[in-house]
Structure 1
Amino acid sequence: MRNYKMTLINLNSLPTMDFHPVFPIGAVYVKSYVKQLGVDIELIDFKENPEEYLNLSFLNSHIDCLAFSIRNVDSMELNSKYYLKYYKDFMDKIIPIAKKRNPNMRTLIGGGGYAVYSEGLKKYLPFQYGIKGNIEEEIFDFLSDHIQSLGEDIRLIPNHSLFSLDFTNSLVQTYKDIGVKQIGLPTRCGGRCPMKCVYCSYGKIDNKTNITRPLKLLKEDILNLYDMGIREIFFTDSLFNINLDHSKSICNLLIDLNLDGFRWSAYAKPTVNEEFVALAAQSGCKELMVSFDTFSPSMLIKLKKGFNLNIAKTFIDNCRKYNVTLLGMLLFGGPEENEESIKETCKFTNENFKKGEIFFSFGMRVLPGSQLAILSGIPEKEMITPLFWPFDESCFDYAIKHFDAQFLKYTTLGRISNWRKAYREMREYSYPGTNSFVLQGKNQILG
C-alpha cells in the first residue's frame, strides 16, 4: 500500500506577477485537510522557495495530482492588473512535463478566485477538475474517484473530523520577512455570508456549510503562530461577527490567553451589540474593517446592505467608546448613484469619521453569482475579465466636491486620477440578446 501524492502550487506566488504578497492561508487549509486523509502533499510557494520556479525540481518526483490554488484573478479596481495570463503560461509549461512522467496524473484547481470565476476559467485554464464550494467534501470525492480509477492499493483515510492548521515555520517566516505583518486564520470551516449585497459573490464560494471551528483548534493555531513569532492575525472570514456568540467566545479565548503584544484584525458588519465591541477591545483588536459602501439611505436599500444609518452610527460610537480602531470602506458607482447619494455619504463621513479611518474607491464589480451579474444578463461562462457596473464620470467630481479636505490627501487624489484615466479607457460591453451594458477595460480583455 502506498500514499497518494499531491503537489499543490500557490499560483499567486509566481515571481512574474506584481502582486502584493498575502499569506496563502487557503492553500495551507487544503494541505492540512488532505494530510489527515493520509495524502502526501507538498505545498509549493515561490516566495518560500524561489529557485523552484526556475529549476522545477518539484516535478522530479511521482505526482498523482498536480493542484493549483488561485486567490486573485485581478486587483479588483478600475485600473486592475489582470493575472490570468501568468497562471495560464505557467500551467501550460509544467503540466505537460508532469503528464509525461505520469500519464495518469490529474490536474485540480481551487481557491477563491476559481470559485467565483469557475465557469469562465473552464475554457481558459488547462485543468481537468475544479473545487469551487465545499472544500472538504469535494476534495474527498475527487481523491476517492481518482484512487478507484488507478486500480492501485492506495491508502485514503475517511477522516472528516475538524483539524488544526499545519503552519510551517519556514513558510510563516518567509512571509514575515517580506513584510506581511498579519497571518490569516479562519474561525469557521467555510461558512456562508448571510448578507445579500448586490455586488457580492460569496454565495458561490461556499453556499452550504456554516460550521464554526472549535475554540480548542483555534487556540492551537494561535499559540502555534505565536510561538513562531507572529504577533498579528487577520481572521479571514467574510465577516468575523456573523455568529456573534462564536466571535465573542473567540474574544474571551484571547482575553484568557493574554498573549503579550498580540493583536488581531477582521472584517466585520455594523452591529448594535455593544458587548461585542467591548470584548474586541479587551482581546487586542487592532482594527475592524467594515464595508459600509454608502451612507445614503436610498443606496443602502438598493445595495441591500442589511443595515441602516442608526445601526451604523451606534456601531461607530461604540468603537469610539471602547477605542477600537475602525476602517470604513466606501464604494461609489452602484446602481443609480448620483450627486445626491454621494453628497449624503460624504456628509455622514465628514461628521462621523476621522482622517485615516475611511478608504473609498469607485467602480462596482459585476461578479459571477451576484445580483448585478443577473441584472446584466451575461452568462457566467462569459464573465472571465473584470466587468464594472456603469456609472457617470461625474461621480469622481462629486466625491471631491463633498468630502472634507482631510479625506482627500495627495495620494488619494492621485488614485482618483488613475481610476478616472482607467474609466475613460473603458468600453461598453453588452452581451448579445440583452438590453443592458457593463464597463470593460480595454487592457482587460483576453486574447
Structure 2
Amino acid sequence: MANVLLVNLGSLPMPGNDPIFPIGLRCIQDALDREGHRTRLVDFVEDPSALQTLSWVKGAWDVIGFTIRNIDPIDLSCDGHVAHYESFLDKVRDVLGGDRPLLVGGGPGYSLFAPQLISRLGFDVGVVGPGESVMLEIAANPHRYAGSQHTVSGGRYPGFVLDTLEHPVSLMRAYASRNGSIGLETKRKTCYQGCVYCPYAYVSGDNAGDLKPMKSIATELRKAHESGIRDVFFTDGIFNSELRFAKDVVRTVIAADLPGLTWSAYFTPKPFDDEFADLVSVSNAGPVIVSPDSLDDQVMRLLGKSFDTRHVTRFIERCRSRKMKFKVSVVLGGPGETRESVRTTARYINEHLESDELTLNVGYRILPETALARQVGLSHDEILDPTFYPLDPEIFSWIISELDSRFLVTGRMLNLISGRTASRTMKKIPLDQLAFDTAQGGRANAITRRQLPVVEIRNCEASDRA
C-alpha cells in the first residue's frame, strides 16, 4: 500500500482566488482510502499554518498529488495563477531535496493545459479528466511513472455510484466557518450543450451519465448539515439536463427536511417545466442560476446555446409566479457582439430583470479544447496566460449608456471600470481573419470567415478584480 499526500493548490491565497470545498480531491482521497492506501489531504483553508511550515512535505510519501482547479479567475481584471503555483512547487521541491516521491498534477484547470504545465510545474505524471481510477493505478505502482512526464487520461469510476462520500468533519467545518458552503455531485455526464467557450465536456471526460443513488445524496446532505454546512451547491455542469433525475434530487432535498439548509446549482431554462418549478419553489432553494450569456438571439446562436430568449422569458415567468429567487448571467463581448446586440441585450435586461437578478461580466477567456480557441487559431502555449476574445473597447460605454440606472450600482460600475482599465493595458495580438460558425448554433462545422475588426486581447496586467 502507498502513502499518498494530496494538496489542494486551489486553496492557496492568490489575487482573485476564492477557494471552494475540494470535492474532486476528496473523491480521490476516498477512493484511495477504500483501497487501503494511507492518505493525507492538505488544504490551506482548513490549516492556514501549513502554508508557512511545510513540515508536512517531509513525510514518507510515495506519491504527492496536486490539484489545480483554476488557471486564472477568468476575468478581464485578473492575474494568472500559474506563477503562484510555480513559486509554491519550487518551495516544495526545496524541502523534498533530491530523493523525492512521485509528483502528480491534476484537476480541471490542470487538465486544460496538461502539456504546458507538466514540465513547467515539474510533475512526473499528469492526469487529464476524472482522477480516481488513474490515481488508484498510480498508487499501486508509483515507480512505473517516476520521471516519465507522462499524461494519463482519466475515465469512469464505478465508486461514484457505489460509495457514499463522507467528508472529514474538520474540513467541512473549516469551509462552513468561511462561507458555509459545500459542493455535492449528483451525476457525472458529459454536457450536451455546445457553448463555444466552455471546456466542460473535455474536462469531465467521456461519461455517458452516472447518476448517484438518492440514498447516497440524502446521506451526504445530512452529514454536511451536521457539520454546520448551510448551503449546498450541486456541482453538475447543468443540474436539470436530466430533468426526471433532477426532480428526484429536489424531492430528496425536500424529504431530508434539514433546518436552514439552502441549495443552488447551474440550470438551463430548457428543460424547465411547471412540475420542476413547483418542486424547486418549496425546497428552500437559493438563487436558480441560468446563463444565457447574451439576450440577443443571434449572438446566443453564435455562442452555441440550445435555447433562446423565449425560453429565458418563460423561465423568468415561472420563477416570478412562484416567488423563486433567480439570477441571469450575462457575459458581453463574445462572437458577433456589436453595438446593436449590446442594445438588444440591455433592452431585455431593462424590461425583464431587477438589479439583484443580474450577473454581468465582460470578456470571454479563451480556453483550450473549445470552439472559441479553434476560431482564433492560437496554440495552447499562447493562451496559457489570460487571453480574451477580441472585443470592441467601446463596449463598456455601450453598456453604461444602454442599461437603466438601477443596474448601475457601485459594485457593478467598479467592475466595468476595472475591466475597461485592464483592457487598455493588455497586450494586443494581431489576427488577420477570424473564423466562426454561423450554423448549428455556433458549433465548429461549416465555417464562414470575416475580417477581424479588432485584435485579440491577452495578458491582463491588473493585479486583482475591483
**Over residues 149-186 of structure 1, what are the superposed CA-to-partner deviations in whole Å (9 max), with x where a residue is unaligned?**
89xxxxxxxx94332223111111112223x1311111
* 2:150 match: none
**Over residues 326-377 of structure 1, what are the superposed CA-to-partner deviations in whole Å (9 max), with x where a residue is unaligned?**
1111010011211111111111111111120001111111110110101111
* 2:23 match: 25
- For the residues of structure 2 that align with 1:231 and 1:191, how far apart are their CA atoms? 26
Pick closer, same or farther for the CA change 1:379–1:149 going to 2, 3 Å: closer
- For the residues of structure 2 that align with 1:265 and 1:317, how far apart are their CA atoms? 19
Which residue of 92, 115, 120 corresponds with 1:124?
120
* 2:259 match: 260
- For the residues of structure 1 that align with 2:79 and 2:86, how far apart are their CA atoms? 15
* 2:442 match: none
Which residue of 10, 13, 16 corresponds with 2:11?
13
70-79 or 434-443: which moved more?
A: 434-443
Pick closer, same or farther for the CA change 1:148–1:311 going to 2, 3 Å: same
Pick closer, same or farther for the CA change 1:417–1:174 going to 2, 3 Å: same
Name the SS for the 2:132 alignment partner. helix
- Does the CA-based 8 Å contact 2:386-2:460 persist in structure 1? no
* 2:457 match: 439
State percent identity of aligned pairs.
28
Name the SS for the 1:368 alignment partner. coil
* 2:303 match: 303
Amino acid at match of 1:226: H
- For the residues of structure 2 that align with 1:322 and 1:227, how far apart are their CA atoms? 30
Name the SS for the 1:63 alignment partner. coil
Pick closer, same or farther for the CA change 1:259–1:433 going to 2, 3 Å: closer
Pick closer, same or farther for the CA change 1:363–1:144 going to 2, 3 Å: same
Q: How does 1:20-169 map to 2 (within 5 A)?
A: 20-98=18-96, 100=98, 102-103=99-100, 105-146=101-142, 160-161=158-159, 162-169=162-169
**Over residues 279-335 of structure 1, what are the superposed CA-to-partner deviations in whole Å (9 max), with x where a residue is unaligned?**
111222111111110110110111111101211111111111222211111010011
- For the residues of structure 2 that align with 1:250 and 1:160, how far apart are their CA atoms? 20
- For the residues of structure 2 that align with 1:281 and 1:127, how far apart are their CA atoms? 47
Name the SS for the 1:266 alignment partner. strand
Pick closer, same or farther for the CA change 1:57–1:431 going to 2, 3 Å: farther
- Does the CA-based 8 Å contact 2:293-2:332 persist in structure 1? yes
Shift of the alpha carbon at 1:99? 5.5
Q: How does 1:402-421 map to 2 (within 5 A)?
A: 402-421=402-421
- For the residues of structure 2 that align with 1:160 and 1:234, how far apart are their CA atoms? 23
* 1:155 match: none
Pick closer, same or farther for the CA change 1:261–1:313 going to 2, 3 Å: same
Shift of the alpha carbon at 1:145? 4.1
**Over residues 159-216 of structure 1, what are the superposed CA-to-partner deviations in whole Å (9 max), with x where a residue is unaligned?**
94332223111111112223x131111112x421111011111122113112111111
Name stretches of at least 5 consecutive residues in structure 2 with no aligned partner.
147-156, 435-450
Amino acid at match of 1:181: G
- For the residues of structure 2 that align with 1:185 and 1:107, how far apart are their CA atoms? 27
Report the TM-score when normalising by structure 2.
0.87
Pick closer, same or farther for the CA change 1:142–1:191 going to 2, 3 Å: farther
Aligned residues: 431
Amino acid at match of 1:267: Y
Name the SS for the 1:418 alignment partner. helix
Pick closer, same or farther for the CA change 1:39–1:377 going to 2, 3 Å: same
Name stretches of at least 5 consecutive residues in structure 1 with no aligned partner.
151-158
* 1:350 match: 350
- Does the CA-based 8 Å contact 2:289-2:326 persist in structure 1? yes
Shift of the alpha carbon at 1:127? 0.7
**Over residues 215-263 of structure 1, what are the superposed CA-to-partner deviations in whole Å (9 max), with x where a residue is unaligned?**
1111111010111122211111111111111111011111212222221
- Does the CA-based 8 Å contact 1:32-1:164 persist in structure 2? no
- For the residues of structure 2 that align with 1:346 and 1:396, how far apart are their CA atoms? 12
Q: Runs ≥4 in structure 1, deviation > 6 angstroms? A: 147-150, 431-436
Q: How does 1:362-377 map to 2 (within 5 A)?
A: 362-377=362-377
* 2:193 match: 195
Shift of the alpha carbon at 1:111? 1.2
- Does the CA-based 8 Å contact 2:339-2:395 persist in structure 1? yes
Name the SS for the 1:342 alignment partner. helix
* 2:335 match: 335
* 2:425 match: 425
* 1:239 match: 238
* 1:206 match: 204
Shift of the alpha carbon at 1:96? 4.6
- For the residues of structure 2 that align with 1:261 and 1:148, how far apart are their CA atoms? 49
- For the residues of structure 2 that align with 1:355 and 1:411, how far apart are their CA atoms? 11
- Does the CA-based 8 Å contact 1:200-1:367 persist in structure 2? yes
1:225 aligns with 2:237: no
Report the TM-score when normalising by structure 1.
0.91
* 2:249 match: 250
* 1:156 match: none
Give the CA RMSD over aligned residues. 2.3
- For the residues of structure 2 that align with 1:16 and 1:284, how far apart are their CA atoms? 33
- For the residues of structure 2 that align with 1:223 and 1:336, how far apart are their CA atoms? 46
Name the SS for the 2:355 alignment partner. coil
**Over residues 406-438 of structure 1, what are the superposed CA-to-partner deviations in whole Å (9 max), with x where a residue is unaligned?**
111122112111100001111222589999752
